[in-house]
Structure 1
Amino acid sequence: MSLTDRQLNLISKQDAYNGKAEISDGEGLVVRITPQAKIYFDYRCRFNKKSLRIRIGKYPVTSLKEARRKHKLMMELRESGRNPNIALTGELEFITLDDCVAYWLKHYVPQLKAGTQALYRSFAKNYLIGAFPERNVETIPAREWMQWLDTISLDKPKTANSLFTKLRACLNFCKSKFIIEKTDLDRIKRQHVGKAPEVGTRVPTFSELSMIWLAIERSRASSSNKALHQLTMLWGSRLSELRLARRSHFDMEAGIWTVPKELSKTNTPIRRPIPTKARMILERVMATYDDVLFPGGDLDKPITISAANRYIRRIRDGLPIEDWRTHDFRRSLSTGASELGVMPHVVEKMLGHELGGVLAVYNKHDWLKDQLEGYELYAEKLDSYLK
């Protein structure tokens, strides 16, 4: 039975009330009545798989007619997939977080490297899209931003910290394009969100590297997956530089591997020599595979980063040594080559780093001969442990 103004008026004039605490007007519109005879209009519904109870107003400041008008608008918004709270703010046209993310993914992210694009799209899909449905991104309070980030941080503190930087980059890009003016996220500092990624300190020793090498040799995996990680160990390269490599990147006659700028973290080509031990593995790979040298299940596509990491996690779990990652091979190369007498500027080139200061501007020499000597020394040292 629908409510009437007369019914509400009679209740509101009482000093105390001991009747039903809640009376329905139909389709989710209810009045809540306190023992002190105070009357409130609420809208109860489900939105985005959650139960909502939205306070419309207090009677008689908000009349029954006005409550029904707002209730009707709320139902229309909900049925169209929009947050019914919008009916109370009057902001029927505004920019949401989803709008910002979509704009960022379309106009900024495609300029980045393929791996970075995939990472940003994954964060957007898993965390950003749908986080604040039908909310004006410019009016979301800092407290709500922080509560949302803290919820993620409970289980994944490093993810929350990384997510914050990507969210901030997204919103800053939208501000630079005058899509939005400001948000309360600007009030939050990165150090207050989750846990920042730790700077790596793990340096697998030659003894540990030999154990990892043999575990890879004995594992049940595709030859491309094995070769990918063994070559990464020998070259000290970034995994993506090899994982995405093509046959054309290797000049076997000249003995040079060129990482194109599209795959280089520094956005400049990286040239490395092909040492003896790496050449032997590379020749086997080239005899087995076509243009894509390190494929996954599909021979025409490089193995995915998740598949590569899953494989190395299996290797790691089966070894009785301190926790390590593929990226730690770079630290082993840097430390090991330096201990073997390789000059610092040569080690930096072996790692694919840009030289600092004026050298970065004027000196484009690769020291390929010195790099090759360094790689041969490093491989010989590793071989001495393998034997």
Structure 2
Amino acid sequence: MAENKLTDRQLYKYLNKPQEGQLTFADGLGLSARVSKVGGITWLFRFRLPNAKNQFWLSLGAYPSMSLKSARLERDKCRNWVANGLDPRNEFKLDRENTFNPITVKDALSHWVKKYASRKRVNAEKHEQQFAVWILPHVGELPIADITKSHWLTCFEERAHKYPVAASYVLRNVQQALKFCLKQGYDVHRDIFELDMDSVGGTKQAKRSRRLIADGDWDEFEQLIKWIDDGKMFPYYRNLLILLTSFGCRSQEVRLSKITEWDFDNLVWTVPAEHNKASAKDIEKGLTGDIKRPIPPKLVEFLKSLVASSDNEYMLGELKESAAVSAWGGSIWKKLDHNDKWRLHDIRRTVATGMNDLGIAPHIVEAILGHAIQGVAGIYNRSQYLPEKREALIIWHEKIESLRHQ
């Protein structure tokens, strides 16, 4: 079959020249140029689908906006679609939509936040805020399919030297977001997955293991308990610290806690899966992802007073931002004149250490903390440990009471 029979010289003879009737000139391999009565020229592709009796026509575009060379490239695309059993009418439309309305970096990252992070990550809002600062100003409006290493490196070069730990964190989240988008059928340039922490100027966060109880010395923890009792702080933070020291829970579990989570009839606090950082591992084992903690009897009146004083759905009476709570907690060590820095999360480590020092079984300590339990014990639902956890928390609160009166 002859192909590429037309030339621009031939086409210009008819362009914008009135005709007595419609004319069609074949270029070959299914491509034709149709000239209207007023001299407009349209590219057409003629094809027949497998097992179809009739031929179909697809309008590709107008000449000269679509050049002869471009029309032939579009024809070749259409022929390839037909050869693979696809309808060029559908594929051409999709191809046009991707060309003129490409999926941008902003679209892809927003898709991940909405469809994944908002349901699986308790700090999804933080991810979105970091994307808005690190990524979107540089490449947010560019097609995600075209973003290469040089584009990504531009996002990090201005800030990574000042915030190297954050740079690593943002890169990891961008990569996880785009892996998710790939699975959703997005056309993502794979250069992003070849970048690592060093290439963007990032560093790992220094691991610390700070505890207020060490080698049987409870002095720092005792100081904290008495400082809480002294109450020289905003009520929100005093109540937060009481719950952190009472349960060894994560600060986000308390910060996000709603009154409905607290069952005073059965004396159980149920942290829902969406507030549990380790819920994904539990759900993989067929568990709910919830954390169930018994409420020690001596804590009941205090908790009921929180409910009574709250004028909304939150146990602490308001919802503070994670960054604000973390910043406030990071200054307590100075107020107590401790030599070494510690944060709110270190209270969790402290409770674990103290419970172990009191002889509480390690797997019960892990269950109270809400860690994903490993090994054989991990295949059983945490609710089976409620009696053991209740007894452990009673022992723990007796110890706190003894420190309070020393």
TM-score by length of 1: 0.67
Partner of 1:216: 228
Cα distance in 2, alignment partners of residues 136 and 378 from structure 1: 56
1:350 aligns with 2:368: yes
**Bigger CA radius of gyration:** 2
Q: Does 1:328 align with 2:367?
A: no
Give SS of 1:131's match. helix
Distance 1:245 1:103, change over 3 A: closer
Give the Cα separation in 2 of the matches to 1:198 and 1:226.
Answer: 28
**1:199-210 alignment runs, 5 A limit:** 199-205=207-213, 206-210=218-222
- CA distance in 1 between counterparts of 2:154 and 2:372 reads 40
- C-alpha deviation, 1:329, in angstroms: 1.4
Structure 1 residues 131, 258: CA separation in 2 closer, same or farther (over 3 Å shift)?
Answer: same
Q: Secondary structure at the match of 1:303?
A: coil
Alignment pair present for 1:293 and 2:305: no
Q: Which residue of the partner structure matches residue 159 of structure 2?
A: 152
Equivalent-residue separation in structure 2 for 1:270 and 1:358 (angstroms): 18
Partner of 2:400: 382
Q: Is residue 257 of structure 1 aligned with residue 249 of structure 2? A: no
Task: Find the counterpart in structure 1 of residue 304 from structure 2.
Answer: 283
Relative distance call for 1:210 and 1:184 in structure 2 (3 A) is same
CA distance in 1, matches of 2:234, 2:174: 38
Give 1:109's aligned residue.
117
Provide Cα deviations, 1:262-305, integer angstroms capped at 9, x if missing partner. 32223312111112443343233233225422123xxxxx2332
Which aligned pairs between 1:169-318 and structure 2 lie closer than 5 A? 169-190=176-197, 192-193=199-200, 194-205=202-213, 206-267=218-279, 268-290=289-311, 291-296=313-318, 302-318=319-335
1:99 is aligned to 107
Residue 218 to residue 111, structure 1, CA distance change in 2 (3 Å): same
Q: Paired residue for 1:21?
A: none
Please, what is the CA RMSD of the aligned residues? 2.6
Percentage of matched positions with identical amino acids: 25
| CA distance in 1 between partners of 2:304 and 2:320 (Å) | 19
Report 1:73-88 matches (<5 A): none
Aligned mates of 1:280, 1:209 — CA distance in 2 = 23
Structure 1 unmatched runs, 5+:
1-90, 297-301
C-alpha distance in 2, partners of 1:383/1:362?
Answer: 32
- Going from structure 1 to structure 2, the CA distance change for 1:208 and 1:279 (only over 3 Å counts) comes to farther
CA shift digits 1:322-342 (9 cap, x unpaired)? 111111111111111111111
* Residues 257-266 or 343-352, more deviating: 257-266
Change (3 A) 1:190 1:240: same
Q: May I ask how many residue pairs the two structures share in their alignment?
A: 291
Following superposition of structure 1 onto structure 2, how do residues 335-374 of structure 1 map, counting pairs within 5 Å?
Answer: 335-374=353-392
Q: Is the 8 A contact 2:293 2:368 kept in 1?
A: yes
Q: How far did residue 112 of structure 1 move?
A: 2.7
Is the alpha carbon distance of 1:111 and 1:367 closer, same or farther for their aligned partners in structure 2, counting shifts above 3 Å? closer
Aligned to 1:162, the other structure's residue is in SS state: helix
Stretches (4+) displaced over 6 A: none
Q: Distance in 1 between matches of 2:178 and 2:389?
A: 43
TM-score by length of structure 2 reads 0.64
Q: CA deviation at 1:219?
A: 4.9
